[in-house]
Each structure stands twice: as structure tokens, then as C-alpha cells.
């Protein structure tokens, strides 16, 4: 379970490129806007620094008190930012359209947040697979106050779980997110995927991991949810579609030993509103 040394494809100071088309688009947008900001910063900070060096009283600069306003200049520096903003908004809007298009998904999983664990209930062909995913025990021991355990000795400290979410690569996976208590948020940076899990609502989210990028991907709850908010990680185990099918069969076989009745859900779910999407 501790395959990747780094929790995501980030280099430690920038967004991860990620392993989905959407995460790539987000990365490109992020870099586009970043470089535009750098460009503006060079011009604006350049003008400021030039003024600070050139127009110093100690250097004998005399103030030009007649310079009070210029309608022309003010129109120019109102219009140019508008153009730049439109230039950024168009590709951003295109990506939003793609992110919100949850049609034609091939596998749906209901994700339920609890204080402080995640429940994964598979639908479609994997129906019946239903389990909880909590912080791995070694991390849980080490994270106690005054545990005396050096977190550096714990593999994937705070980012490993007992049972990860297993999904196939190259498949459009749709998550249906809700919560049984307070608001949580499901976030895997490498998928460019974050959405709140809210009691009484079902939020949708989809991702499709590029084939060949199978492996473990890690994230954390991203909405303050109480005492152990920092200790309910999310790990996704991406497998090839064939390996995923094998895993589903294994799980189902383990689920239905002839003598035992199927596990009944522990509690009736709260009334759920239809999602307010679309």
C-alpha cells in the first residue's frame, strides 16, 4: 500500500500535473494564469521600483504636481485588464463544462463522509461492495499527542488507509458524495477532483485516470469536520480494468459466503434531496 514515495505528482511547490485529462487542463490553466500574473507583476512592480529609485527626494527629484489625472491612460488601464480577464475566462469556462459533464459514466460509487472516515459503496456491476476506509494504524499510533514516534519513520504518514478505494483506469468513474454528519470534502489532487460531501445532498464528481497511470493516489479531507479533520485521508488504488474485475469478483466472493446473510446497512440513510446540479 506504500508504493508511491510522494503523495502526488507535485514537485513540492507547485500543483501536481496529475493523472487525468482534467488535472492536466487545470494545471495548464493554473500555469497560464500564473504567467499572466508574473507578466503583470513585472510591469507593475517594475514601474513601482523604477519610481522608487528614480524619483527620490534625496536624489533631488522635484515633484510634478501638475500630474493629476489622464482620462486616456485611465481608460487604457481599465480596458487592458478586461481583455486579459476574458482571455483567461474562456479556457476556464471550457474546462468547467467538461468537469460538470457526468454523463456516460461507467462506474458509480457512493462516497459517504463520517467523522472521521469514508464509506465506499459500489453501484453498477460492483454492487454490494461496501466498506469503510480509515487512517492506517501505524499513522494513527504515531499521530497521538506525545506518541514519541517520529512521523518520518511511518510510511506515508497520515496519507495511508486500511482499505483504499479501488477503481479501474481508463474508465469514467462517477462519485456520488454525501455525508452522514457534518460537511466533509473529498480531494485527490492528482485527479484534479475535489467536492464537498454534505448531509442531505448528493454531489457528483467524475474522473478518468489515464491508462498506464495505475497506482496509489493520496489526498485528504478538505473541509474542517471536527477533531480529527486532519486524520481522515483518502487513498485511491487505480488498477487496470482486468485487475479491477478480478478484485470485484474476489470481493463479491468474500461478501457472499453461503451461510451468512448479506450485510444489512447499519442505519437507514437520512432523507436525501436530489442533487441541485444541472
What is the smallest separation between the CB atom of 28 and another protein, expressed in angstroms? Answer: 10
Binding of another protein by 65 (CB under 8 A): yes
Name which of 32 and 255 has its Cβ closer to another protein: 32
**Binding-site residue total for another protein (CB under 8 A)?**
107
Binding of residue 40 to another protein (CB under 8 A): yes
Please say which residue, 1 or 48, places its beta carbon nearer to another protein: 48
Q: Is 25 in the site for another protein (CB under 8 A)?
A: yes
Cβ(7)–Cβ(156) below 8 Å: yes
Nearer CB in complex with another protein: 158/248: 158
Beta bridge partners of 206: 174
- 68 is a site residue for another protein (CB under 8 A): yes
Q: Is the dihedral of CA 273, 176, 163, 199 positive or negative?
A: negative
State yes or no: residue 58 binds another protein (CB under 8 A).
yes
Please spell the DSSP secondary structure of 124-166, one letter per residue.
GGGTT-EEEE-B-HHHHHHTSTT----GGGSTTTTS-BSS-EE
203-207 and 173-179 as β-strands: parallel, antiparallel, unpaired?
antiparallel
171, 252 in Cβ contact below 8 A? Answer: no
Site for another protein in 207-226 (CB under 8 A): 219-226
Q: Which of residues 231-270 bind another protein (CB under 8 A)?
A: 231, 270
37 is a site residue for another protein (CB under 8 A): yes
Q: Which three cell numbers stand for residue 136?
A: 492506517
Amino acid at each position: 500500500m506504500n508504493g508511491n514515495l510522494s503523495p502526488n505528482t507535485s514537485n513540492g511547490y507547485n500543483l501536481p500535473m496529475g493523472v487525468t485529462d482534467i488535472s492536466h487542463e487545470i494545471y495548464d490553466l493554473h500555469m497560464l494564469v500564473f504567467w499572466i500574473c508574473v507578466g503583470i507583476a513585472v510591469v507593475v512592480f517594475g514601474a513601482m521600483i523604477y519610481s522608487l529609485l528614480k524619483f527620490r527626494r534625496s536624489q533631488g527629484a522635484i515633484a510634478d504636481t501638475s500630474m493629476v489625472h489622464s482620462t486616456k491612460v485611465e481608460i487604457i488601464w481599465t480596458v487592458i485588464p478586461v481583455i486579459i480577464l476574458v482571455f483567461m475566462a474562456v479556457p476556464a469556462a471550457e474546462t468547467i463544462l467538461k468537469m460538470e459533464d457526468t454523463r456516460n459514466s461507467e462506474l458509480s460509487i457512493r462516497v459517504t463522509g463520517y467523522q472521521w472516515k469514508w464509506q465506499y459503496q459500489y453501484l453498477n456491476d460492483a454492487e454490494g461492495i461496501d466498506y469503510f476506509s480509515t487512517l492506517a494504524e501505524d499513522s494513527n499510533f504515531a499521530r497521538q499527542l506525545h506518541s514519541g514516534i517520529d512521523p518520518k519513520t511511518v510510511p506515508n504518514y497520515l496519507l495511508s488507509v486500511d482499505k483504499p478505494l479501488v477503481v479501474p483506469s481508463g474508465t469514467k468513474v462517477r462519485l456520488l458524495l454525501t455525508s452522514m454528519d457534518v460537511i466533509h470534502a473529498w480531494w485527490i489532487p492528482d485527479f484534479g477532483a475535489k467536492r464537498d460531501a454534505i448531509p442531505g445532498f448528493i454531489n457528483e464528481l467524475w474522473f478518468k485516470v489515464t491508462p498506464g497511470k495505475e497506482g496509489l493516489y493520496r489526498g485528504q479531507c478538505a473541509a474542517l469536520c471536527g477533531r480529527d479533520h486532519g486524520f481522515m485521508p483518502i487513498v485511491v488504488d487505480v488498477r487496470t480494468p482486468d485487475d479491477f474485475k478480478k478484485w470485484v469478483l474476489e470481493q463479491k466472493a468474500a461478501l457472499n459466503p453461503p451461510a451468512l446473510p448479506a450485510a444489512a446497512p447499519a442505519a437507514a440513510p437520512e432523507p436525501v434531496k436530489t442533487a441541485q446540479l444541472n
